[in-house]
Chain A
């Protein structure tokens, strides 16, 4: 399996290159000139032309792409047209916030979605099942911004339990160590700061996890019900296995295979949702950073952030494949060959 993982990692490179080609050209098709945007009102043609030359936007697109690619091979993602800071540094600064949020949301979605789906299937057509189906329908169809607003109003304003926005309270000014706010609080021995950071995570995590948890719950319920109709389940029951073993050893394991695939696919959608969630909750992650970059036509940042998103998605896909191999001996066998 190690060989397989290595082969898959190597295969990431051409895909990343393709992503790069597409995004490099797409960003330049968006109307609007970064030099005009950066210089503000009252800028003259001469000033705009000078800035375009300084930012090397006046070179042919092929040349621009080659020099970008050259930089990339040296680990240089270019500099932000807006701030002048290296893009890699800007992304690294914000990446922990996005990873913290999306990984936690992924875990919450799995921990909540899968058990709900399983119990719903076991108790199909009972009151519990109907309630879960109703809630998951809401979770799938409710737009993230609306859910965010409702949660902010209920838990932030009406009950006053949780902070409405931000990653930490503005009164904590500890220097970052790892960039992960909760972990930093613990490392600094500042339990209050860690707890404060954790409280700030709850609402955005819930919003981000809601869609995936609901999708997963519905999916697992359906596949479980399907699996329960299979011949081998009848065989298991016929040979007198306790119902618990039938469910958890035979049915669940087989139902989880497609669920893992769904998690992988929906993770990409969740990253897209992170852009909106990070904006609403003033979360300083790369989703929001990318959104701002698109508005400012900050080409190097758009390219860099897209690469990071693509990479995250591909790594999750790889993880999904490996987990499937762990769950299914047939896949393991195919991988080995």
Chain B
């Protein structure tokens, strides 16, 4: 007897029985978007959000902010709950007029009092926002749909922060009703209403037919939690997922998977430049031995084969970073492209010789995150350093442990990086290089440096856009003179989707997508 597929199926008792959920009506399923994510959202509460990507994206689809970045360029802010706004000449007073007739999902009105309530709540309860929202002096309700926010000092980045999930406007009535459980019962004004959350399983959002910008085209979004990257890939290929984001770089799909999926029928890979920066950094406030000599640090920056890293190891999934800001930032100084170190083994050797470092004399431990991609980058750099006579030992370390080493300053060189959580050069420069923040997590641990600190703070607070840009040009050059790192690459934002998913505009800074205009063909 020929033992075929059908016989095997009936032996297992599978073929004879109905296919269950998979048999659901195709039309209904075609209005449901299933998004694969690697972990649960850390929370759905703007008042506690710490820029964790999954929760942040859900918040931006359930809630609205006063302003938002305008797609597809995401270079200009547009009004959302705010119909219009003005900023005073000294950059301290922001006056907003709100859109009339907007209702929360619980049918209460979204007015100036709700905006005041939400922003004050985030200011008072979210430690992540203390440094920025702490500068809010007063929020005054000047009419049912009008309010005025006064800052203690100018903060040009303030509007940009108002577009972030932490500044989403919550329903005061729902907060009163749910208390601490608002975290898993979010109520906003957004295009999707929260329906359910099953830990380690899924978050389900239903369309809000009364959304003030028009009902979304999808009926439902299901965020499915699938921790394993290869399982996410199989589900995408099999149609179990419509969309997978590479939003957690530490749990990203290996580059060979990206290559494989690029050519797969029925799947589209969207790749856009991001503002992520990955670097090899020195322990700048605790430099030891030869690394104290700027020539030695500079030699290391010339020893690295940047193009080889981008093409060979990263397979075109990343762009070069030339300095402290990514090249798609509005504050990026184009002249930095020429100033950035180039791969030059002879120059690296000469600089080391000039500094009196003999081949084989300098031995370093190179810390890196875990994961095959980080391992490959670390090994590549290890080989680059060996070629100029520097002996590096790679230590791949679990994330919490590496962060602990970093905060305590117990390392010499480490691979590290930052994904800015708001769209402003300040997100890289102030947090990364201000010496007073040196002991915070994941900074460049810059030593006390009054001149550089003053320049950074001036750039942060200057209201005039052009003047501010010029100040950031200066900041970039000054930082580069000090050689605190070898800036390596910027991962592209990669979204894998089924070809029938249309209307998605990928946001690059930060990588949080809105699904209001998305639909399935």
Contacts and interface: CB of A to CB of B under 8 A. Distances in A.
Q: Do A and B come from one complex?
A: yes
Interface of A: 30-34, 36-45, 47-48, 50-51, 82-84, 90, 93-94, 149, 152-153, 156-157, 159-173, 192-193, 195-196, 199, 279-282, 284-285, 288-289, 292, 295-297
B375 interface: no
B204 A173 contact: yes
A280 B222 contact: no
A296 B40 CA distance: 13
A51 B441 CA distance: 14
Interface in B234-248: 234-235, 237-238, 240
Given A37-B399, A47-B130, A153-B234, A42 B42 contact: no
A153 B442 CA distance: 40
Contact of B201 (A82, A83, A196, A284): A284
Interface stretch (B12-20, B86-94, B283-291): B12-20
A113 B155 CA distance: 69
14 contacts: A31-B400, A37-B399, A39-B128, A40-B51, A41-B440, A161-B9, A165-B234, A167-B201, A170-B34, A171-B222, A280-B231, A284-B200, A288-B200, A297-B400
Nearest to A175: B196
Contacts of A33: 400, 404, 407
A292 B39 contact: yes
Contact of B403 (A37, A164, A170): A37
Given A33-B407, A285-B200, 14 more contacts: A37-B399, A37-B403, A41-B431, A47-B127, A84-B183, A163-B22, A165-B235, A166-B224, A166-B226, A171-B21, A193-B21, A280-B228, A280-B230, A282-B231
A163 B231 contact: no
Interface string B30-53: 001010000100110000001110
Contacts of A173: 195-196, 204
B213 interface: no
Given A32-B403, A167-B201, A199-B20, A157 B226 contact: no
A164 B240 contact: yes
Contacts of B237: 157
B101 interface: no
A166 B183 CA distance: 24
A54 to B, nearest CB: 10
Nearest to B416: A41
Contact of B440 (A38, A44, A156, A166): A44
B405 to A, nearest CB: 8
Contacts of A30: 401
A36 B441 contact: yes
A163 B241 CA distance: 12
B401 A41 contact: no
B305 to A, nearest CB: 28
A38 B34 CA distance: 28
B442 A41 contact: yes
B227 A196 contact: no
A78 B457 CA distance: 43
Interface in B189-227: 195-196, 198-202, 204, 222, 224-227
Contacts of A163: 22, 240
Given A40-B52, A164-B234, A192-B21, A288 B227 contact: yes
A29 to B, nearest CB: 11
Nearest to A170: B222
A295 B17 CA distance: 41
A82 B41 CA distance: 11
B418 A41 contact: yes
B401 A32 contact: yes
A32 B400 contact: yes
Contacts of A170: 34, 202, 204, 222, 224
B144 to A, nearest CB: 35
A86 to B, nearest CB: 12
B510 to A, nearest CB: 13
B127 A39 contact: yes
B231 A152 contact: yes
A47 B437 CA distance: 12
Nearest to A169: B21
A171 B24 contact: yes
A58 to B, nearest CB: 15
A295 B251 CA distance: 13
Contacts of B50: 38-40
A161 B227 contact: no
B5 interface: yes
A297 B398 CA distance: 11
A93 B199 CA distance: 8
Interface in B1-17: 5, 9, 12, 14-15, 17
A296 B399 CA distance: 9
B268 interface: no
The size class of the interface chain B forms with chain A is 35 or more
Interface in B370-415: 398-401, 403-405, 407
B226 A196 contact: no
A193 B43 CA distance: 28
B442 A42 contact: yes
Contact of A42 (B18, B29, B199, B443): B443
Contacts of B234: 152-153, 156-157, 164-165
Contact of B437 (A44, A84, A165, A166): A44
Contacts of B404: 31-33, 36
A267 B15 CA distance: 32
A158 to B, nearest CB: 10
Contacts of A51: 127
A146 to B, nearest CB: 11
A282 B225 contact: yes
Question: 4 tightest A-B contacts by CB?
Answer: A32-B400, A169-B21, A284-B200, A196-B20
A68 B213 CA distance: 51
B198, B235, B431, B441, most chain A CB atoms within 10 A = B441
B439 interface: yes
B424 to A, nearest CB: 14
A152 B240 CA distance: 13
A43 B440 contact: yes
B219 to A, nearest CB: 12
Contacts of A169: 20-22
A165 B196 contact: no
B201 A162 contact: no
A36 B400 contact: yes
A122 B24 CA distance: 48
A199 B17 CA distance: 10
A40 B441 contact: yes
A295 B443 CA distance: 22
Given A42-B441, A90-B199, A50 B127 contact: yes
Contacts of A280: 228, 230-231
B400 A161 contact: no
A289 to B, nearest CB: 7
B3 to A, nearest CB: 14
A326 to B, nearest CB: 32
A164 B21 CA distance: 14
Contact of B42 (A82, A90, A153, A289): A82
B127 A295 contact: no
A152 B440 CA distance: 43
B20 A164 contact: no
Contacts of B22: 163, 169
A165 B222 contact: no
Nearest to A152: B234
A38 to B, nearest CB: 8
A90 B40 CA distance: 13
Contact of B441 (A41, A284, A289): A41
B420 to A, nearest CB: 10
Given A40-B50, A149-B230, A165-B226, A295 B128 contact: no
